[in-house]
Amino acid sequence: MKFTALTAVAALLMAPAAYAEADDESLVINGDLEITTHTDAPAHLDGHLDEIYSGWHFRDDETQAMEADDFDNPAMIFVDQARDMWTTPEGSEGKSCADCHGAPEDMAAVRPVYPKWNEDAGEVRTMQMQMNDCRTNRMGADAWKTDAKDALNMEALMSSVARGQPVNVAIDGPAQSVWEQGKELYYTRTGILDLSCASCHEENYGNRIRSDHLSQGQINGFPAYRLKNAGLNGVQGRFKGCVRDTRAETFSPGSPEFIALELYVASRGNGLSVEGPSVRN
């Protein structure tokens, strides 16, 4: 039974007729914001990839066009909702995000460097973890669940004001051990189908599995609006879905494993522009 499943997956991934490389189009948002969607791979991917591509290159023309115009990008309604939240006082301290951080645009340098090591906490933090630290310790508000609606909306706002800036996630120093854990998870085959993240997104990007055009699995465009479920999707929620598709026991969003994996996968996109919230299939 396992042999049959593996044979079917191999046929789906490797069939030459199903291959279609990333296109060579350029993404310019709103007619003037140039987005780097293709560049040389960072040095730590030496021996794995020579070039890196945003998932935008693997979508059809109509989906690409939606992301290129904020009026057509369905994710921007959630950005607008987050802008309202930004100035709304919450919690026992009666503070809003704006009280400490000013305008969202003042936070443009934040999204490109997350996940990152937090020295005071002694841990790697995703952006959602850092937002929850602000909520609980400064605002006296309840923490958001990982990839919950409000968390994704706010993360989409932070991504939107950082669009065009290069991803620059640090992997050295105290973050390195977590990065190594994420790397190990990325290359470990799991599940009945015996697949790793690399099986699809490194060894077979450009191929089609079922109706999906496999990308490199870059996360510079997250949160992403998926046409499949008509909503914003977070990185770790997407990880969960991918692991589940290998027919393996998956981790939960917010788990140490997925935090490590997010750090590693984010670093694979160093040099690409932040482009979220993106539009994907």
Summary count for the chain: helices (H), strands (E): 10, 11
Amino acid at 271: G
Residues marked as catalytic = 242
Q: Is 201 annotated as a binding residue?
A: yes
Q: Is 57 annotated as a binding residue?
A: no
Q: Is 134 annotated as a binding residue?
A: yes
**Of 70, 56, 52, 75, the residue nearest 155 (C-alpha):** 75
E-assigned strand segments in 126-211: 208-209
Q: Which residues of 117-140 are buried (b: 16+ CB within 10 A; e: fewer)?
A: beeeeeebbbbbbbbbebbeeebe
CB neighbourhood size of 200 (10 A)? 22
Q: Is 244 annotated as a binding residue?
A: no
Amino acid at 29: I
Q: Is 101 annotated as a binding residue?
A: yes
CA 152 – CA 234 distance, rounded (Å): 6
Q: Is 213 annotated as a binding residue?
A: no
Q: Is 226 annotated as a binding residue?
A: no
CA distances from 213 to 117, 270, 280 (A): 34, 22, 11
Q: Is 242 annotated as a binding residue?
A: yes
Q: Is 111 annotated as a binding residue?
A: no
Q: Per the annotation, where are the binding residues? A: 97, 100-101, 134, 197, 200-201, 238, 242
Q: Per the annotation, where are the binding residues for substrate? A: 238
Q: Per the annotation, where are the binding residues for heme c? A: 97, 100-101, 134, 197, 200-201, 242
